[in-house]
Amino acid sequence: MLNLEEIESRKYISLETFKKNNQLVRTPVWFVIKNNLIYVVTREKTGKIKRLKNNQQVKMATCTIKGKIIGQWFSGNAKFLSEEENRKAIEMRDKKYGIMAKIAKFLSKGKGDLVAFSIKPD
């Protein structure tokens, strides 16, 4: 069984999503944990959002900023959030990542609005 407390202090997880042809795509992402759920904030026009709309099954492992896997893989199901849940997830992410989150918001603003999704580990 996955212990979320063990990964909570890490900065990145490699998020594995799947294309329509089942080809996997790994992306290092920031994350926060609350109530046994993992939350990821991104932009609405990113590839991972497009892939999640087709297949909510994901795999994750802790990783470095460059995506080098440093933890065990585990699977889960992603779920898009309500507007209120989305706002809270963004606040949690901003608190955890501070000034880096502000910089990321500015640099990524061309990819649409901020959106968040939760992942329930299997």
Does the pLDDT at position 2 exceed 80? no
The torsion angles phi and psi of 61, rounded to 5 degrees, stand at -155, 150
Using DSSP, state whether 92 is helix, strand or coil.
helix
pLDDT at 34 over 70: yes
- pLDDT of 51-68, one tens digit each? 999 999 999 999 999 999
- pTM score, whole prediction: 0.94
Task: Write out the H or E segment, with its range, that includes residue 119.
Answer: strand 114-121
The secondary structure element, H or E, covering residue 77 is: strand 74-80
- CATH node for 4-121: 2.30.110.10
At 113-122, the pLDDT tens digits run 999 999 999 9
The residues pairing with 42 across neighbouring beta strands, listed in sequence order, are: 115
Structure tokens at 119: 């992942």
Give the model confidence (pLDDT) of 73-110 as tens digits.
999 999 999 999 999 999 999 999 999 999 999 999 99
pLDDT confidence tier of residue 3, bands split at 50, 70 and 90: confident
